Structure 1
């Protein structure tokens, strides 16, 4: 029975996953391309203003644009505050969550884990029992 449980653990624990490497690489590529496009637009704007109105006006106008955009970004960044999401009702009333300290429960990773356990109680119980059997068999098995 224990041999079959050892083979079943990977299938129980297997969950659909997104590839974080691909999403991070795509995000980095989009930021790099955005930055490169902004640099080329600023160079083109500087050259156009410098040829039509002079170099002094080009530096003055682009410097003013940079200062105004920086002030806007600072106001936007200062406005956002991190608000802890409240626990869902099914997690807050979970008997397992009642034994976990509040400081640990506020961790987003623990909240996701508790939510997963409350949504799939049978799979979570089967996984816990199987892992418990494997650990107890490894530690308490009598060696001959």
Structure 2
């Protein structure tokens, strides 16, 4: 679940330190999730909130830092600096053994200027830098996506 909250904080009016404001924000968010925020009096005013529920498929693979990777994650190739997005579904990839393009179903990677490809051994070449939900500006846009 992604929770997006727009909160108005008047630091000067609150008379609180930045650390206390951070603590209050954490408490506010926790109470928003558990109880709703109507009766919270912690120096914050809720302006807007939206919830988005989704689930992502786990690849079972990790990046070079040992972080588990999921559908929608954005990786940076340590080999060439390419930005790579992990997707799940039907894809076409070149099979060197058969010298032909073959369809596959599963996790695959896309990167601008490159064909779709299986994600391979991510532990040796890729570092997670975000995901398409939290960092939509990093999403890879292929011609077929437009």
Normalising by structure 1, what TM-score?
0.17
Higher Cα Rg, which structure: 1
Q: Which has the higher contact order (CA 8 A, sep 6+)?
A: 1
Normalising by structure 2, what TM-score?
0.17
Higher fraction of strand: 2
Higher fraction of helix: 1
